[in-house]
Amino acid sequence: LTGRDFVFIDVLIFGGCTDRLARDTMRIVAREEGKTYDEVLSDIREGGADELTQIHFWRVVSALYPGAFNRIDYLSESRKYRLWLS
């Protein structure tokens, strides 16, 4: 998908449809926060992911793909993260 000045990827966070990038990232986030993967997934699904979880998600994605993304937005109504390509 293309924005006005950006290209972005919507990463679906929803049970069995979870994108590999999101799944791998959430495992790392869960480990760092001392939570289970299911707890992090549940928080995100319910729109209750706290700011720390979202910051962790962004940091881990940035570390896995350095320089690839310059912004991340959580779209609670669609349960997606929008990753903006640099």
Cα–Cα nearest to 25, from 55, 51, 48: 55
Residue 38: inside a domain:
yes
**Integer Cα distance of 11 and 58 in angstroms:** 12
* pLDDT score at 78: 66
pTM, 2 dp: 0.43
Q: Per the structure, how many domains does the chain have?
A: 1
Number of neighbours of residue 80 by Cβ within 10 angstroms = 19
Residue 1: inside a domain:
no
* pLDDT score at 14: 40
- pLDDT per residue as tens, the chain (86 positions): 344 444 445 554 443 434 666 677 778 878 888 888 888 777 766 665 566 666 667 777 777 777 766 676 777 676 666 767 65
Cα 34 from chain centroid (whole Å) = 17
Residue 80: inside a domain:
yes
Residue 70: inside a domain:
yes
Tokens 């690839």, residue? Answer: 68
- The parent domain of residue 21 ranges over 7-85
Cα–Cα nearest to 47, from 84, 21, 75, 71: 75
Residue 55: inside a domain:
yes
* pLDDT score at 47: 60
